[in-house]
Structure 1
């Protein structure tokens, strides 16, 4: 299970042509991840994601699609590592690279940003600089693509902060809806407003982010739509999550809690909406269930 708190996991239950790389001379790309002062929870269980940095295909290989052939890992001291989780030179902090949401295992292409994570490894977080090696000139990841090499460095100073936010679990019950209101694929009905609560955030963090993770995974080409979970008996209908303006929610990308203030901390409510959405050319009535994990990260 992918959890955080400094990811704190809560579950919200809901009831009711990419461009291919053309041949070019091999070149290299140097990418800096993080690169600022990072405030990280002082105490968190091993494996919790503490912070995230995203790298676009253009930054990684100069194209809208990168074809990855291999990934080589290095620890913060510059020693080669077996990966995929590697130690930094900051006590208590490890790092992991995700491509299309997974660690690298075989040649793969990506058109969406890849993610560099900082994770707790269960040791005391003593803070310090992430820069690899004594001089900060060593990289953590060497990505070989079909047309280039990408070197990922990490920089920034980690400051431990005592305490994290809390996110309570909740159940959102959508109203009963007649199937004939969902008369075509993409039509919605049964709108329900709800809020994601981010409570008791301590002061001192530079940024707090939340990430929405559908239970069952992201459905391709279906923005904001949740897979059906246990107990669902309807077909051709799912639940869609949107922001308070009706735009499909962004999944599996960290979004800043805008109202958080480093000087004061506090509690915050993120307004959201849920509704039924017709997803199949044929549909049958019944129960529609979905679930969403809310994950927090800190910088």
Structure 2
């Protein structure tokens, strides 16, 4: 059976008031002028006492940054459309850590904002940014439980997540986790075959806070480096699963000893293809994915003993099993040929093979196959 996965100075003043002098009516005027002057000084001082401080009381750092975006192996199905999301990648979490420092004012609560920025919008998009692969872009989404942020998408190169903090002056750092989930998106025509993902637009982080009007650069969340493989399939499977029923075999058929075979059964893999790539295939043992032999491991509900199952390719040779990977040159991968414009049929066989002392019973094995396009 095959399964397909396919950041005041104190002021003081002093003045001497003139006494009112009889016979000098102008003395009152002079005294009033001085009083007005003093009143003006007092008003100025009051204004200075209540003006906001130019210094911040919250100090914040960024942790777990300078990341490389890792995509693994992403298969681009046949017939994808522009705007289609190919899949979300493993999320990363960076930390905003803040505490309150002893400066001029006594602020012990504030909101700190992480401002993420990037460039290179993909044509026709406001939320997808072009990678080094033509037709493939990346979208960034931010979430944080501590910051009450959900699904914040970077739009036109910018995203902001604000977190409120409160605590004693010179107290310990408080942490808020901000998770970023990248997703690869189809932005245009994609060439057939396999290509390495090596660069994405870098994402910078700048901090601002509610108790000041300055900002601090905190480095890069993503440096712009990336790893991964994009495999643009030229074929799609026409069957979601395939069950191969082997004929019943007599134990005497294996009397020649270990390695003797019996009851071959033909089957085929059927795919619908478009031209443009060489097609290779890897079979993987589902029961034991680390199996690199040419004999499948039986499932635990099999009752027969001393028997395994082999799969033969179109030349009649037993297939050795490999990792579930579409990477070119994958272990035990073999070449089928050029993808046709239409149906591609891969003829195969399955058979019993003796692996030890034989006793009768049921036999069941499972395998998956992975296509590679180069």
What interval of TM-score do these two structures reach, taking the shorter chain for normalisation? 0.3 to 0.5
**What is the TM-score of this pair, normalised by structure 2?**
0.39
More helix by share: 2
Larger radius of gyration: 2
